[in-house]
Amino acid sequence: KNEVEQSPQNLTAQEGEFITINCSYSVGISALHWLQQHPGGGIVSLFMLSSGKKKHGRLIATINIQEKHSSLHITASHPRDSAVYICAARVRGSQGNLIFGKGTKLSVKP
Amino acid sequence: AAGVIQSPRHLIKEKRETATLKCYPIPRHDTVYWYQQGPGQDPQFLISFYEKMQSDKGSIPDRFSAQQFSDYHSELNMSSLELGDSALYFCASSLAKAGGGYNEQFFGPGTRLTVL
């Protein structure tokens, strides 16, 4: 069992839809990252969370430490949101390196 | 704002050759992480440095070595390259918090290494 698991693995949505990507982890963490990776390969950091909720534009990330679960929401999705979204955990007590989930491939159709 | 710079962006090598990948962190960032992402795989942590000292080690093969220099840039040296080393190699940088703890990591664009 992976220490960081994401669902769904693949997601297809119509433009304008509300999207949720889930992440569960089995280790103690000091922070959780949501990352975006486009087909060219570059990784962009979207959020770093240790508690509660963060919002940036149409993106919202939440985390429930007790349940070891985080969600990434995209409101009013757009084809340019199409990318792989990766959840990555910073394990408590580590030197800051990340353990990555397998990613969720999102495709938003116009 | 300045971002993490990696060079080269693409590299093609033959088996058994050596390769050196470079990473230039965001100015004033003191911590560098290296990750390897194989085709269709999630990134795996290789090694990290804080203030020029190795801070953690992941699944880095013995054929690879790395260091962080006085200007905080880092180099990943890969020898006796194998076909399985073909991957996207990411560098990320962050600024360590006073008293311990870590800030957000910012990723470079990656170096795509192809071993033929």
pLDDT digits (tens, 9 = 90+) for B4-34: 999 999 999 999 999 999 999 999 899 999 9
CA distance A62 to A53: 4
Cβ within 8 Å, pair A98-B48: no
Q: From chain A, pick out residues whose CB is under 8 angstroms from the CB of B96.
A: 96
- A32: Cβ–Cβ under 8 A, 6 or more apart, which residues? A23, A25, A48, A49, A50, A63, A70, A87, A88, A89, A90
Measured between alpha carbons, how far is residue B64 from residues A19, A25, B22, B33, B58 in Å? Answer: 40, 30, 13, 14, 12
Q: From chain A, pick out residues whose CB is under 8 angstroms from the CB of B50.
A: 95
Of A35, A97, A102, the CB nearest to B56: A97
- A60: Cβ–Cβ under 8 A, 6 or more apart, which residues? A53, A54, A72, A73, A75
* Closest-approach residue (CA) in chain B for A30: B101
What is the residue-wise DSSP string for A86-110? EEEEEETTSSS-EEE---EEEEEE-
B50-83 pLDDT per residue, tens: 999 998 898 899 999 999 999 999 999 999 999 9
Size of interface A-B (CB pairs under 8 A): 65
B27-55 pLDDT per residue, tens: 989 999 999 999 888 899 999 999 999 98
Interface membership of A21 toward B (CB under 8 Å): no
A58 DSSP assignment: T
A35-77 pLDDT per residue, tens: 999 887 788 999 999 899 999 999 999 999 999 999 999 999 9
What is the percent of chain B where pLDDT is above 70?
Answer: 95
Cβ within 8 Å, pair B107-A98: no
Cβ within 8 Å, pair B105-A103: no
What's the mean pLDDT in B88-100?
84
* Closest-approach residue (CA) in chain A for B58: A97
pLDDT on residue B103: 76
pLDDT on residue B95: 87
